Structure formats: structure tokens, C-alpha cells
């Protein structure tokens, strides 16, 4: 059954393309992604934690799975924006085929979109309108007053930054941390709600989040190395349980409880990091 699933996964070719040919900087750009696959396979699309570079994800719209006697069809539209200035920008996205003990990745063919530079073309000729009526000429611009005002404004901005700059920077860091944390909680809960739980995919979500949160290479570390890094034996027990499920083929109902403990660990580290920034 596993070999059959792997062969079927190799035959899956996801399709992805932009729904318009050009885009302006900061403008919302729809990108459609869909895949048709044997209905007994478990296929996962990129979520909000995926890196869509050179684009940024604004929102996404999932469509219900359509299934017949043999195949299922999943589709989603990602609404992206770009702030890069390259004239032509490319994007290719993966879909993840979840097997019993591992996962397989299949990518779409790269699609491109042209950046609209919004260059105004001047006409070859212009009609000249003659007006001999009296026109009131505005007074000359008062440059001395403008200069004094600009200097005062610069001083106010500088003093404000010196007094409140660190507080503002801490607020911005905490805000970004909270936004990323909310996205992680939502994605992790969705992964735990799947039946059965895609253990390797869910563990990867957890490791990638902690790597960004704590600036430690969690995604590249083994369970033994994570225990040595954190010194947390309880955490190690939960990770060892997931390892036995992934590599040992154990059918252990406790893997969902293990992930709930891992989620609590991530929440505790988030709270510690938030307090560290606020009082740093």
C-alpha cells in the first residue's frame, strides 16, 4: 500500500498560475493553485507560515474538495502583494503529499507576472489655450520661515525618538511577534484537527516556529540535540514519542497529546520572549 501511494504521489502534478498578467507595487494579486490526486491520498497546500518570496501573502480562499469515485480535486486562491522592483517576478508553489511515515513535495511550473511601472506617456502635441485675462500672481515663498519650521520639526522628531524610540521599537517587535504567534496557533490547531494527524508535517511546523522565535536551529536539530540545547527532559519525552511514531511505525494514540504538550511549550517560550522584549 505504501509503494502504491508513493507511485501515485509521483504522478501528481500541481497546477499554479497568476490570474492576471501584470501588477503594481503593493497591489493585491490573485494566484490560483490546484491539484488532482487519488482520493485515498492526503494532500496539504502551503499555509500562512510558508515563504511566498518575492511576494507576501495577504489572504487566501480555500474551495471545498471535489471527489468522484477515483480522484479528489483541491484548489485555493492566494492573494499576494509585492514590493520588489524587478520587472518580471516568478513564483512556484509546492503541494505536500502526506504518506504514512513521511511526506513528498511536488512543485508547480514557475509562472511570471510583469511589474507595472506606471510610466505616463506624454502626448506628441498639446493644444495651446490663449488667455489674456489678468491672473493674480501668488506671493513669493517664504524660505526663511520654511527653514526655521523644518529645523524645529527635525528637533521635535529627534527628541521624540530619543525619549520614546526604544519603547516604540519594543512595541513594534512585540506586535510582530504576536501576529506570527497567532498565525502559528491557527495553523497548528488546523494540523491537529486532521484525522489522522500528519505527524511529520505538524512537527515541522512546531520546529520552524521555535527556530524563528528563539533564533535557534530547531528545524535542523535531532531530538537528542534539542534536549541538550533546552535541558528539558519533559520536552524530550514528547519529541521521542513523535520520533517513534514517524520512524518506528508505532500506532500510538498518545501522539496527539504529545503535540498538545509541544504547543504548550511553544506558548511558554512566546510569553517569555514577549516579556524579555517588553522589559529588555
CATH number for the domain formed by residue range(s) 8-115? 2.60.40.740
Q: What is the rounded distance in angstroms from the CA atom of residue 53 to the CA atom of residue 56?
A: 7
H-assigned helices in the chain: 2-11, 143-193, 199-214, 223-230, 233-247, 255-278
Q: Provide mean pLDDT across the span 121-146.
A: 68
Residue 84: φ, ψ to 5°: -85, 160
For residue 60, the cross-strand partners are: 78
Q: Average pLDDT, whole number, for the chain? A: 86
- pLDDT band of residue 113 (cuts 50, 70, 90) is very high
Q: What is the rounded distance in angstroms from the CA atom of residue 118 to the CA atom of residue 120?
A: 6
pLDDT of residue 1: 40
Q: Which residues of 156-185 are buried (b: 16+ CB within 10 A; e: fewer)?
A: eeeeeeeeeeeeeeeeeeeeebeebbeebe
Which tens digits make up the pLDDT trace of 153-186? Answer: 999 888 887 777 788 888 898 999 999 999 999 9
Percent of the chain exceeding pLDDT 90 equals 55
Provide the CA 207 distance to its chain's centre, in angstroms.
15
Q: What is the rounded distance in angstroms from the CA atom of residue 202 to the CA atom of residue 49?
A: 12
Eight-state DSSP code of residue 262: H
pLDDT of residue 9: 54
- pLDDT band of residue 253 (cuts 50, 70, 90) is low
Q: Provide mean pLDDT across the span 240-260.
A: 80
pTM above 0.95, yes or no: no
pLDDT of residue 229: 92
pLDDT of residue 7: 45
Q: Provide mean pLDDT across the span 105-125.
A: 78
Report which of 217, 214, 207 is spatially closest to residue 184, judged by C-alpha positions. Answer: 207
Strands 22-23 and 111-115 turn out to be parallel
Domain boundaries, the chain: 8-115, 167-278
Which tens digits make up the pLDDT trace of 31-57? Answer: 999 999 998 888 999 998 999 999 999
Higher pLDDT, 136 or 13: 13
pLDDT of residue 99: 80
Amino acid at each position: 500500500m505504501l509503494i502504491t501511494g508513493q507511485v501515485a504521489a509521483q504522478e501528481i502534478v500541481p497546477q499554479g498560475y497568476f490570474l492576471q498578467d501584470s501588477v503594481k507595487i503593493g497591489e493585491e494579486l490573485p494566484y490560483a493553485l490546484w491539484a488532482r490526486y487519488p482520493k485515498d491520498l492526503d494532500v496539504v497546500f502551503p499555509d500562512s507560515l510558508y515563504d511566498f518570496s518575492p511576494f507576501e501573502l495577504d489572504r487566501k480562499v480555500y474551495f471545498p474538495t471535489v471527489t468522484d469515485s477515483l480522484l479528489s480535486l483541491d484548489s485555493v486562491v492566494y492573494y499576494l502583494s509585492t514590493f520588489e522592483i524587478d520587472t518580471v517576478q516568478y513564483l512556484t508553489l509546492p503541494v505536500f503529499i502526506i504518506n504514512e511515515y513521511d511526506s513528498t513535495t511536488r512543485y508547480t511550473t514557475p509562472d511570471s507576472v510583469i511589474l507595472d511601472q506606471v510610466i505616463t506617456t506624454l502626448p506628441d502635441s498639446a493644444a495651446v489655450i490663449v488667455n489674456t485675462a489678468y491672473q493674480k500672481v501668488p506671493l513669493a515663498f517664504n524660505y526663511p520661515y520654511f527653514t526655521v519650521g523644518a529645523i524645529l520639526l527635525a528637533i521635535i522628531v529627534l527628541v521624540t525618538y530619543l525619549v520614546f524610540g526604544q519603547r516604540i521599537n519594543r512595541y513594534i517587535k512585540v506586535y510582530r511577534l504576536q501576529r506570527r504567534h497567532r498565525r502559528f496557533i491557527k495553523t497548528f490547531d488546523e494540523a491537529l484537527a486532521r484525522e489522522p494527524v500528519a505527524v511529520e508535517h505538524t512537527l515541522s511546523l512546531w520546529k520552524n516556529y521555535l527556530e524563528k522565535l528563539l533564533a535557534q536551529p530547531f528545524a535542523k536539530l535531532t531530538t537528542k540535540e534539542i534536549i541538550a540545547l533546552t535541558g528539558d527532559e519533559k520536552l524530550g519525552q514528547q519529541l521521542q514519542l513523535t520520533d517513534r511514531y514517524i520512524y518506528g511505525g508505532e500506532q500510538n494514540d498518545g501522539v496527539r497529546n504529545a503535540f498538545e504538550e509541544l504547543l504548550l511549550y511553544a506558548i511558554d517560550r512566546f510569553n517569555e520572549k514577549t516579556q524579555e522584549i517588553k522589559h529588555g
